[in-house]
Amino acid sequence: MNIGRCSGVLLHVTSLPGRFGIGDLGPDSRNFVDFLHQAKQKLWCVLPLGPAGQENSPYRSPSAFAGNSLFISPELLQREGYVSRNDLRFHTHGNASKVDFASVNVFKERLLQKAFLQFSPNRQYSGFLRKNSWWLDQYAYFMALREANHGVPWPQFDPVIQPNSKTIRFHKFVQYEFSRQWNLLRGYCKARDISIMGDMPFYVEHDSADVWSNPELFDLRKDGEPATVGGVPPDYFSADGQLWGTPTYNWKNLQKTGFKWWLDRLRVTFATVDLLRLDHFRGFESFWSVPAGERTARNGRWKKGPGARLFDTVQKELGDLPIVAENLGIITPEVENLRKRFAFPGMAVLQFGFDETGNHRPNNYIRELACFTGTHDNDTTRGWWKNLLRSARTHSADRDAVKRVKSFMQTDGSEIHWSCMQAILTSAAEVAVVPMQDLLGLGSEARMNLPGKAKGNWGWRFTEDQLNRHIVERLRDLTSVCGRG
């Protein structure tokens, strides 16, 4: 990966401001791109763009190829003449700083159904269908079949029930409209020299078009239910580990196909983003396999992944791809050797940098690295600092960490978020990324995700009034003096 020394902001599409209850691909997304440009940022980092799965998680999607219908802009639908101004007028967004997913889902579904009825297929639509039929046909059929079966998981589908052909066409239209709007936004980014850094989950949801249509590629029982599920053992995020519930892969069968599903997945993803964070990179070397039915991830075991065989194939078929390997957590020399063999930059998270090892401290950063003050799984910097100070009252290790933070950054903690941003932007790492919450100086109330917590994640949004001129100018000046603009 060689994109030059740069910096960017981590903000998922759902977290954009706007009047329809959730961020989308409409005018507010362009306002955000304008802000990035004004502040001399080069990267917009987003979470996975697929339809969200259980508890609205973007990391548990019913498709590795589809886009999230909730991102579709009502205003852009109106501009196309698919819906009227009256269709948008009476929608109430509720709490502007938190997504009410239940309300938004109802509103967007009704709006997209109206748009579908007004839509007349054209040449662009026909071209989209031809280009994407190899995955779109299966996805639309699966979604329609799931609806006909009242939303039960696919192993429980009634074999007698057939999907409604109109519903199939509806899902194809939705994917066309997502693609059209996303491509417009991506063009807007390119015109302002903003690259989009995407994020690819390691696993896919069990109740997905991918597992339903390719069950042989996953570790399933004869009844279609998972035999083993993915996760990670106990770590600094959770004492019980993380139990994701997603089926693990049947890597033997995947290799027999020449890893075709993975090649297709990467090819489609790089048609939508400019560079990519591969989540849970260590799973490609060895993955934590937990028997299905376990309540925690404690009783799992490590199993070998495809390793270099997969990435040799990817390199041969797709060339050198701009990939960042998420190498956080329990990382072995074998994982690092795999990453280095293919010259994938790793990650550093500043919040992890103040233990005794200092591995994530900026003085240890190298050029081939993407560094973050925190990720979507971390607390905000202000929340992290507040909790660290509280814990330091009773834990000596945290007292030592507080001393290291103050000494390294020569701060009294009064503007800890700016001190941390300065630390990563002045580092040697080629890529430096700041979550929007840190830029705005928000506390734990703005946290995006708490690993191990089943409900209440992914809903945070910022409001337009929070991003003022002072913040834009301060970020621009810091970026310029650090040679990242």
Strand order in the sheet with 286-291: 242-247, 228-232, 286-291, 301-304
Per-residue pLDDT of 271-321, as tens digits, reads 999 999 999 999 999 999 999 999 999 999 999 999 999 999 999 999 999
CB 471 within 8 A of CB 439: yes
| Selected catalytic residue, list 207, 326, 379, 398 | 326
The number of distinct structural domains making up the chain is 1
| Selected catalytic residue, list 75, 235, 317, 377 | 377
| Selected catalytic residue, list 279, 285, 379, 398 | 279
Structural domain includes residue 205: yes
Structural domain includes residue 116: yes
Structural domain includes residue 75: yes
pLDDT band per the 50, 70, 90 thresholds, residue 343? very high
Quick one: pLDDT at residue 292? 96
Q: Give catalytic status of residue 326 as yes or no.
A: yes
Structural domain includes residue 1: no
Structural domain includes residue 133: yes
H or E element, residue 435: strand 431-435
H helices of 350-484, in order, are 381-392, 396-409, 416-425, 436-439, 469-481
Quick one: pLDDT at residue 427? 98
Of 46, 44, 42, the C-alpha closest to 6 is 42
Structural domain includes residue 176: yes
Return the CATH number at 271. Answer: 3.20.20.80
Per-residue pLDDT of 98-151, as tens digits, reads 999 999 999 999 999 999 999 999 999 999 999 999 999 999 999 999 999 999
Q: 175 is in which domain, residue-wise?
A: 6-481
Structural domain includes residue 437: yes
Of 362, 324, 360, the C-alpha closest to 343 is 324
H or E element, residue 107: helix 101-118
Q: Give catalytic status of residue 279 as yes or no.
A: yes
Structural domain includes residue 446: yes
Arithmetic mean of pLDDT, 87-97: 75
